[in-house]
Amino acid sequence: MEGDLKLPRGIRIKSNNLILDFYYIMRHRVTTTYKAVPDNFSKAEKLLLLIKADLERGQFFIANYQGKIKNANSLLEFDKDYIRQVQCNVGILIQEQLLIYQKRVDAGTLAIATLQGYEYMINLHLIPSFGHLDINEVTPFVIEKFISNLKMSKGRTKTILIPMRIIMKKAKRNGVITENPFDNIDDDVRLTCANKSSYEVKPFSLEEINLILEACNHLSVKNLIQTGFWTGMRIGELFALEWSDINFINEIIKVTKSQTINKQIKKPKTKAGIRDIEITPKAKEALLHQFTLTGNNENQRVFLSPTGKIWSKTDMLGRIWRRVLSSANVEYRNPYQMRHTFISYMLSIGNSPMVLYRMVGHETPEIIYTNYARFINNSGGKLLKTTI
């Protein structure tokens, strides 16, 4: 039929409808509501000229063509109202930032656990609170009210707001907003609105440690927990540890990696995380026992689950840990308190914070002085390995 009719330039026929076929940045084929009859040819041609003119002027609004084109969404990206919405709607901007995080995971520059953390915070806190707002509606007062209602620690609040800070910084750089509201938040709000964290350093006593170890039903679990108590290693670092990282002769553990969720291995978040740990006697005892279970291959993981598999996530240990503490009749504290126990005990027997902070992977000794000040014994010196 199309070959028998003299159609205007850029007009085509498909399924008895007139199609606008033109280039603007790329090729577009827009279906009109006009039936493919000669009386509508000039209408379609006029419609095509109007659309192209609006696109060239940057004044294209899909609403102006309602009832005349069917697949209007194919031109949505050029709609001036939509462009403004994309630039200014906080919900859209947050979702775009989430896509950037996903691309970083795909590129190997962001851990999947970090992405999942952002997804959780965005869906639980940011989208419900900010997603419906225009970016110009996010004022210092709005952010301060959010912080006040959040009722979390200063550190946790800061982490939750990271994606918001990023999109506000981009919006200012691109001229969408003239001032970044985060630049005008009163410091007093950060200090008074966010609750102090209820988490505390509550180390286990030597008696409690022995009760916990005695309550372990699996030797592999006992060895892991004993090593955790007497090296101060993080759970992810213990999961990632290989026999090639351990030098029994020089009594050194080289920490160069950590395991995140889905069994992924990554480098520590900071350079301080890459370190050497002196093997204390109790840690050496546990590692030698573990060597009989998994030491047949130097590239083998040191610690495997009771079923002989790689620990997939910390929750697996967490469930076992809870049962062990219950059996031992020891007050529950989370597994991270093993690390706190090591640090506090080593300080209490006279080890210098200036030596210890490097061994446990802190960037500066400040954390030691802030969180463990009450345990510091000022006799100084290197690790007193013979005491344990």
- Domains of the chain, by residue range, sit at 2-75, 89-193, 206-387
Q: Is pLDDT of 72 > 80?
A: no
Average pLDDT over every residue of 217-241: 95
User: What pLDDT was estimated at residue 387?
Assistant: 55
CA distance 235 to 216: 17
Chain mean pLDDT for the chain: 85
Higher-confidence residue: 292 or 187? Answer: 292
Joined tokens for residue 152: 């979390």
What is the homologous superfamily of the domain 89-193 according to CATH?
A: Tyrosine recombinase, N-terminal domain (1.10.150.130)
Classify domain 206-387 by CATH architecture.
Orthogonal Bundle (1.10)
The model's pLDDT over 131-150, given as tens digits with 9 standing for 90+, comes to 989 888 898 889 988 988 88
Higher-confidence residue: 262 or 157? Answer: 157
Joined tokens for residue 225: 């927990």
Q: Is pLDDT of 269 > 80?
A: no
First to last CA, the chain: 93
Query: Over pLDDT 90: what percentage of the chain?
Result: 42
Residue 75: pLDDT band with limits 50, 70, 90: confident
The model's pLDDT over 287-335, given as tens digits with 9 standing for 90+, comes to 999 999 999 877 789 999 998 899 877 778 889 999 999 999 999 999 9
Q: How many residues does the chain have?
A: 388
Residues 197, 268, 381, CA angle at the centre, nearest 5°? 75
User: What pLDDT was estimated at residue 385?
Assistant: 46
